[in-house]
Chain A
Amino acid sequence: MILGDSRDLVTGVAKPHSSLNSGESMRFNEWVEKHVRQIFTLPAIFFVIVMVAFPLVYNIVISFRDWNLSSYAEPSWIGLKNYSSLLSDARFWGAMWRTLAFSFSAVVIETILGFSIALFLNRDLRGKNLTKTIFLLPMVATPVAVGMIWLLIFEPTMGLANYLLKGLGIAPQLWLTTRKTVLPSLMIIDIWQWTPIIMLISLAGLAVLPKDPYESARIDGANSFQILNMVTIPQVLPTLLAGVLIRLIDALKTYDIIYATTQGGPGEASETLNILGYVLGFSYFKMGRSAALIVLFLVTVTAISLIVLFLKNRTDKKIEV
């Protein structure tokens, strides 16, 4: 249907625009044509300014203020005090550490798992498309619902997780409800949810690899491990690293799963920067402090992205040489 339409339109192009040829509208059309770049991009730029740039600047302004929404006191200017008190607050550093530990561990495991599964699937298997579709489901399923499913699975008395452990002869765990296991349990959810994206990106990268290097390696008598190590991995690396970068940034931002299952608890045991930022702002109503935390969080995310980008560019160059 859509294809048919477009064909008609392509062939119908040559028709002259009789209705537009009168003077007034002609001049308007010429004006539009002349400024078409600006007209096409203006709405997007306007949105960026109103909803992104201005709020960002405003957020920085708020971060210099002592602003408590739960009191009637006027917000007062306190300079860098929000920052200095955050930087000397153990709760902030705990959240920072948890954010980094959670993201890096989960992404490393997802990368290894996802890439291995992609290698395994990168052959003629029947049902490959169905497999890919099924792998999509954890990614697109509503995160809050995913959190609820795992809340039930991890439930200590009636959850499936402990039932399976019992079958394996392992002592039952408290999963999301105790300090020691809450972060690893959240990582399991994240790994279930996001290994597929690494898998799909790797699979797409593997699909476009040239065939020649494989043939010459095989002629040279390389075994399959050597081929993987010397031919496949170096060639897929740029794609894989791009996927890892995207995933890492998204992992640092993880919010829905954590808030839906633990709200940062028990205690502060799963409180990441994201959660702490929300709690400071909307449970304690400390707008200035929360805004300062968000600025520090953004700086952290940016710094990590730049480091990973730098590493990626270096491997890209190495491969070109």
Chain B
Amino acid sequence: MKKKTRTTITCTISYVSLVALLLVVLFPIIWMFLASLKTQAQIQSMDNLLIFKPTFDNYIAVFTGYDFLKPIINSSIIATASTLIGLIIGLPASYAIARFKQKKLSLTILVIRFFPGITFLIPWFIIFSRLGLIDTYLALTMSHLLINLPFIIWIMVPFFETIPREIEESARVDGCYTVTTFWKIILPLASPGIITAMLLSFVFSWNNFVFSMVLSGGRTKTLPLAIFNFVSYAQINWGALMAASVVITIPVLILAFLTQRYIISGLTAGAVKG
């Protein structure tokens, strides 16, 4: 009996601390949502932090006053393009690394994953300027590939390695070419890995700030840059800034909720294998 009360107490303590922990993690995000529904005066007063009459004016302002639609479209185009091209280049390369033990290529890709993005800013800026490609979707897509391609390969190589060789060998006996086997058998089997790689590389590209700072301009301004530009106004319109932040994070948060298992395996891959 005594032991039972003790376990109940430890159990309660566990759940209370768990909830407290989750609140700490979630609070900044909740705070963003709340502030996006407040007026500037409500944000500035500290009297009613949680209870207030919500307003959608900030969201309306974001789309009418600050022209946010264009950056949303730009970010979507660039993230989609760089993810698709990343998959087209990255999937065969990962398969080759997994099956034909292309050690040098895999090491190179791994190293690129760790380069600071700023490493390439100066040379890219000069090269793309000379080619007249500054402020084009092409330059931005190419630059985002630097993040997406190594990431896709990093996720997919271990994934392809887990697919049993027997499946391919039996296909080969049946007279299938490697390309056909890859396209018709391996890729469908690898679809959970491909989904992980696809979603995360879309997110990374959507979130990218530093490349857009240098390579984009008026025509191709991406969302993170558009949000950053809010701060340069003399007085920060906090409500609109938070509404803009909600607009940019919502798709990412929804993706995270829908596909959390894939994403966790993707983000922790590599480390756990040692």
Contact = CB atoms under 8 A, between A and B. Distances in A.
Interface of A: 2, 5-6, 9-10, 12-14, 16-17, 29, 32-33, 36-37, 39-41, 43-45, 47-48, 51-52, 54-56, 58-59, 62, 117, 120-121, 125, 127, 129, 131-146, 148-153, 157-158, 160, 163, 192, 196-197, 200-201, 204-205, 208, 238-239, 242-243, 246, 249, 252-253, 255-256, 259-260, 274, 277-278, 281-282, 287, 290-291, 294, 297-298, 301, 305, 316
A146 B27 CA distance: 12
Nearest to B188: A6
B56 interface: no
A135 B189 CA distance: 29
Interface in B143-186: 143, 145-146, 149, 153, 167, 170-171, 174-180, 182, 184-185
Contacts of B14: 120, 125
B175 A17 contact: yes
B184 to A, nearest CB: 5
Contact of B263 (A17, A140, A281, A298): A140
Interface string B92-115: 110111001010010011001011
A290 B120 CA distance: 11
A145 B227 contact: yes
Q: Secondary structure of the B side of the interface?
A: helix
Contacts of B120: 51-52, 55-56, 59
A37 B242 contact: no
B127 interface: yes
B51 interface: no
Rank and list the top 10 A-B pairs by shortest CB-CB distance, nearest first. A6-B188, A44-B93, A55-B123, A145-B245, A40-B92, A40-B96, A144-B224, A133-B260, A242-B271, A253-B116
Given A120-B14, A255-B209, 4 more contacts: A17-B175, A51-B143, A145-B248, A160-B49
B274 interface: yes
A61 to B, nearest CB: 9
Nearest to A117: B21
Interface residues of B, number: 104
A255 B116 CA distance: 9
Contacts of B122: 59, 62, 281, 287, 290-291, 294
Interface centre among B97, B114, B241, B274, by most A CB within 10 Å?
B114
Given A59-B119, A149-B28, A14 B174 contact: yes
B191 interface: yes
B274 A242 contact: yes
A126 to B, nearest CB: 8
A204 B272 contact: yes
Interface in B234-274: 238, 241-242, 244-245, 248-249, 252-253, 255-257, 260-261, 263-264, 267-268, 270-272, 274
Nearest to B255: A140
Contact of B256 (A137, A146, A197, A294): A137
Contacts of A2: 188, 191
Interface in B120-154: 120-127, 142-143, 145-146, 149, 153
Given A16-B175, A150-B28, A142 B207 contact: yes
B268 A204 contact: yes
B17 A120 contact: yes
Contact of A146 (B28, B102, B230, B257): B28
A9 B188 contact: yes
B1 interface: no
B267 A139 contact: yes
B45 to A, nearest CB: 8
Contacts of A255: 116-118, 209-210
A196 B25 contact: yes
Contact of A200 (B118, B213, B267): B267
Contact of A137 (B25, B171, B179): B25
A246 B267 CA distance: 11
B241 A148 contact: yes
B176 A158 contact: no
A167 to B, nearest CB: 11
Interface centre among B18, B102, B109, by most A CB within 10 Å?
B18
A298 B115 contact: yes
A131 B22 contact: yes
A45 to B, nearest CB: 7
B267 A160 contact: no
A238 B274 contact: yes
Contacts of B271: 201, 204-205, 239, 242-243, 246
Interface centre among B97, B119, B175, B267, by most A CB within 10 Å?
B119
Given A138-B25, A141-B29, A43 B206 contact: no
A47 B83 CA distance: 14
B264 A200 contact: yes
Contacts of A200: 264, 267-268
Contact of A140 (B90, B253, B261): B253
B256 A136 contact: yes
Nearest to B190: A6
B78 interface: no
A52 B112 contact: yes
B209 A294 contact: no
A9 B174 CA distance: 13
Contact of A142 (B26, B89, B93, B249): B249
B148 to A, nearest CB: 11
A215 B267 CA distance: 31
A256 B188 contact: no
